[in-house]
Structures are given as structure tokens and as C-alpha cells.
Amino acid sequence: MNAPLPRGVCPPLAVPEAPPRFEAEERQPPRLLVSVRDAAEALQAAAAGAAIIDAKEPALGALGAVPAEELQRIVRALRAAGHGQPVSATIGDGPWDEAALEARVRATAACGVQWVKVGAGPGEARSVVALGRLQARLRAEQTAAEAAGPARPLPDWLGLVPVLLADEGLESCRLNAARAGGFPAVMLDTADKRGGSLLARRPLAELQAFVQTVQAHGAWAGLAGSLRTEDLPALRSLAPDLLGFRGAACAAGRSGTLDGTRVAALRAALG
């Protein structure tokens, strides 16, 4: 059984009374990330306009991992059909010790994805720090491989993405670890999908503080967690870089089958 890394005590994220807002002309529409469980769904999502194809098995938890064989099929199918969207994938629900974390990340990256997403729950700031160390090692390996010649042992990926699970809030040390890790993106999500939308569970000021803190350190800020179509006006006002959907893109909830028309509607609503 994988043991979690040591946990620390950390205060909640400080939220300004009136955090500054982005002016409309400064904002770009959020990019649409759609979670898919197989190659057929991936092709639907890509054709309907998803900006990032996210491989995830909803039957296995909030961050359930798609089997490696299916993940490889997803990547091959997208490229064979001429779709160039980046592919992200989760490694499964943790917690993980450092050795297991590295093994899962490397195995997932080897399937040809561009982002590997790793969850971090409350009290797991040290897990995020460990993920940052792994990110640095992998980047160094890739830089060395690129200098050595065209045969590279690592995929042409963008990096690791911590997913901070914040059903009951986000303590400052987890966010501080994430923003200091040199990650291309940081996402905020929920673990319990039965509890409703992220917007129904966390105040807008807290979500905006997360978005602005991540963006101030040069990373993309992403929001996910049972997001609904009716949440889009409020979500857009927060100016995140990514919005992740599964349930709202399916005809019968997150465990159902992806519906390309719903994906297209989400894409159109984002502008």
C-alpha cells in the first residue's frame, strides 16, 4: 500500500476582501479541457472543439487513470485523425510515496501525453514539493536528450500538472508549493463529485485568489469539479486559463457517454 508523504499544518488560503479584477480586454477566453475515457470519446471531443483532451476513467475515482493500452489508443487515434490537441492524463487517485509517484508519472508520460496530472489533497503540500522535484529531473533529462540527438527517451511533453483537491478549501502551503514548482499549469478540483459544482462549494473570492496567484507565477490556472453550463458566466469572470468538464459534456452525467454536441455547446459558450 502506498504511504502518503508526511503532512504538515498550514493555514487556509488568504483571500483579499476585494481582489483586483481583470479588465475584459485583458482576458482571453478559457481553454476547454474535456475528460474522456476512450479513443472514441477523444475523437468526439477533439472534433467538437476541445482545446485539451484529458484521459480519465470516472469509474475509478475523481482522478481515475485510463489503462495504459487505452491511453496509447487515444493518442494514436487523435494523431491519425489529424487532431493536434495536447493530451493530458491522470495517474490515478493517491496518495503516493515518491518512488511510486515517479514510476506512475514515467509510465503515463511514456504513452505519449503532453501533461501528466497528479492529485494532491488537503495536507499534502509535501507531495506537491516532491512533484516539483520530479518535474525538474524530467526536464533536465529531456534537455540532455535533446542535446544528444534526435532519439529522445522522453515524449515531447509540456510537464506535470498538480491538481489541488479543495472540497473543503485550499490551505496556503499547498498553493505555495504548487506555484513554486515550475509547473506549466495548476488546477483546482474536487474529490467528491457528489457534492455539487466547485462554484457551489467554494466562494468566488477564493477561486479568484487561486487563479490570480497561479497566473502571477507564470503558470496556467485551471478550474474543474462538476462544473455546469450555468456556471460559465461566473467562471469566465474569474479569467482562468483552463476549464475542465466531464459531467456537463455527457448525456447522463460523468459516468455516461460523452456527447459531442454538448462539447460543442460548451466550446461555443466559452467564446
Residue 223's Cβ-count burial label (10 Å; 0-12, 13-18, 19+) is buried
Catalytic: which of 31, 73, 117, 254? 117
Longest dimension (CA), the chain: 53
Q: Is 117 annotated in the active site?
A: yes
Q: Which residues sit opposite 89 in a β-bridge? A: 55, 116
Q: Could you give phi then psi for residue 250, rounded to 5 degrees?
A: -115, 155
Catalytic: which of 5, 32, 34, 56? 56
Check if the beta carbon of residue 164 is closer than 8 Å to that of residue 170: yes
Q: Is 193 annotated in the active site?
A: no
Question: Whole-angstrom Cα distance, residue 81 to residue 63?
Answer: 27
76 Rama class: left (phi>0) / alpha (psi -120 to 50) / beta: alpha
Residues carrying an active site annotation = 56, 117
